[in-house]
A and B are shown apart, each in its own frame.
Chain A
Amino acid sequence: MSKITLIDYGAGNLLNVQRAFEHCGAEVNIATTPEQILTADRLVFPGVGAFPQAMAQLQKQNLVDTIKEAANNKPFLGICLGMQMLLDQSDEFELTQGLGLIAGQVKQLPSTSIDGQPMTIPHMGWSQIHPNQVQWQGSLLADIDANNAFYFVHSFYADVADAKDQLAVFDFGGHAISAALQKDNIIGCQFHPEKSGEMGLKIIESFLQI
């Protein structure tokens, strides 16, 4: 049975992520300490909430360096805020340093479309994702066809420095916004695979097979 370790830093809906992985046949462990993270097979880093508080909590639990170390050599999946925290910094409320595993910044979603229409924020609901510059072949999204939709709920987004790290984008009023990131073994998704029905479960299954 595939084993995953969920990083618990008090931010987010850990339980629903756990349930989705268990539904896909995984054995789920919860990690709150550096030791538990370092001994994991695969790491999942979920998150709902605000960036500054979440980073402060990681520091409080002494997890920052451990996550950076573990992310270099284990399959690693960040979800929503857990994906955003992989970047260099965020300007949510105040400028806060992130984990710096993927180059880029976390910014507020644009308030207008490219033709000047006001956009509704948060971006909440089902959006289609598509490749930008990187092909999905061999990635976690390899089995996802063009007619897809995933569940999003967020007000900030990952503005990556290198388009090669951007695995998928969605359309937000004409802006192409990061839907999924990948750099080596580190993967992030802005959408919630645990809340995206059958297609979301497919991604979870793919992660368990890495």
Chain B
Amino acid sequence: MSLAKRIIPCLDVDNGRVVKGVQFVDIRDAGDPVEVAKRYDKQGADEITFLDITATSDNRGTTVHMVEQVASQVFIPLTVGGGIRCVDDIRTMLNAGADKVAINSAAIFNPGFVKEACEAFGSQCIVVAIDAKKVSTDNDADKWEIFTHGGRKETGIDAIEWAQKMESYGAGEILLTSMDRDGTKIGFDLALTRAIADSVNIPVIASGGVGELKHLADGVTEGHAEAVLAASIFHFGQHTVEEAKLAMQQQGIEVRL
């Protein structure tokens, strides 16, 4: 085995509870973050990502407490994203027990922040989250741009150029979410994933659209991702992380079992 491809369950956290993705009509409580994280750890998750979906300043204390609780009971890498805006936010999360932080909007408003963060804490703990949406029409060559505010606000920034820029600024990983696919359950945007993964040398985590186990394997084999992230297929018992790994292994992908 060389480096195993990773499966990363993603927990959207709202005010200290795991919730099912906001894009669904039926917003369901998926449990206490500590219990959910422990369950995924037992199932063999390679890492756990928390996205603080409210990320307001009132919420910050709750999130810090939650990270502390999880880090004292779950001994695999933890990434925390949502509302990471300054070096102090990163320090707070790392001190609480996060191993990495995901920076999204703050990187767009102030790209130098990514550089500053990597110099202060090392590239290995800085993940840049990219929300991309296809802007080309069917007759043109594929083109994706960066969107903010949950896919509502366009920035005009080309996704591939942006990923390369973030790599040159020191980012250790890219968490790539297709806003076209997020919540659709029809699979990753594989063309997008491959376009980004092939144009940078840092690991790309594919996200957005997983509805069945095959989609996870596709992200690696066709999307060239180093890791795959999913939320809802794991939250309500549709599949376990272990089942996902076995399915990936059957496709010839090296996983940690």
Closest Cβ of chain B: how far from A157's Cβ, in Å? Answer: 14
Residues of the A chain whose Cβ atoms lie less than 8 Å from the Cβ of B41: 197
Query: Contacts of B73 on A, CB cut-off 8 Å?
Result: 23
> Of B1, B44, B97, B201, which contacts A16 at CB under 8 A?
B97
Interface size on B, residues (CB 8 A): 30
Which residues does chain A contribute within 8 Å of B95, judged by CB atoms?
A: 15
A62 within 8 A of B: no
How would you classify the secondary structure of chain A's contact residues: helix, strand, loop or mixed? Answer: mixed
Contact B75 A124 (CB under 8 A): no
A85-116 interface code vs B (CB 8 A; 1 in, 0 out): 00000000000000000000000000000000
**Distance between Cα atoms of A200 and B75 in the complex (Å):** 8
A197, closest chain B residue (CB): B76
Partner-contacting stretch, out of A2-10, A131-139, A145-153: A145-153
With beta carbons under 8 angstroms apart, the residue of B3, B173, B202 that contacts A126 is B3
CB distance from A204 to the nearest CB of B (A): 9
Tell me if A16 and B4 are in contact (CB < 8 A): no
In this assembly, does A40 line the interface, its C-beta being within 8 Å of a C-beta of chain B?
Answer: no
Complex Cα distance, B94 from A125, in Å, reads: 18
Selected contact of B94 from candidates A13, A171, A197, A201, CB within 8 Å: A13
Given A16-B97, A197-B41, A197-B75 in contact, is the A125-B4 Cβ separation under 8 Å? Answer: yes
A124 lies within 8 A of B2 (CB): no
* Given contacts A23-B73, A151-B77, A197-B41, A120 and B201 within 8 Å (CB-CB): yes
Q: Which residues of A contact B122 (CB under 8 A)?
A: 48-49
Interface string of B67-102 (1 = CB under 8 A from A): 000011101110000000000000000110101000
The reply on B157 being an interface residue by CB < 8 A is no
Residues of A within 8 A of B (CB-CB), count = 31
Q: Is the CB of A201 within 8 A of B124?
A: no
B2, B73, B95, B172 interface centre (most CB from chain A within 10 Å): B2
B186 within 8 A of A: no
Contact in complex: B46, A125 (CB < 8 Å): yes
Q: Cβ of A195 < 8 Å from any Cβ of B?
A: yes
In the complex, chain B residues whose CB is within 8 Å of the CB of A197:
41, 44, 75-76
**Interface status of B60 (Cβ within 8 A of chain A):** no
Check A151/B76 contact, CB under 8 A, given A120-B201, A126-B6.
Answer: yes
What are the residues of chain A within 8 A of B4 when measuring CB–CB? 125-128, 149
Q: Which residues from B are CB-within-8-Å of A49?
A: 122
Q: Render A59-79 as a binary contact track against B, CB cut-off 8 A, 1 for contact.
A: 000000000000000000000
Q: Provide the bound-state CA to CA distance between A32 and B77, in Å.
A: 26
Of A173, A197, A200, chain B has the most CB atoms within 10 Å of the CB of: A197
Which B residue sits closest to A201, measured CB to CB?
B75
Once A194-B75, A200-B75 are accepted as A-B contacts, the answer to whether A173 and B2 lie under 8 Å apart by CB is yes
Interface positions of A (Cβ within 8 A of B):
13, 15-16, 19-20, 22-23, 48-49, 118, 120, 122-128, 147, 149, 151, 153, 171-173, 194-197, 200-201
Binding site for A on B (CB under 8 A): 1-4, 6, 41, 44, 46, 71-73, 75-77, 94-95, 97, 99, 122-124, 172-173, 201-203, 226-227, 256-257
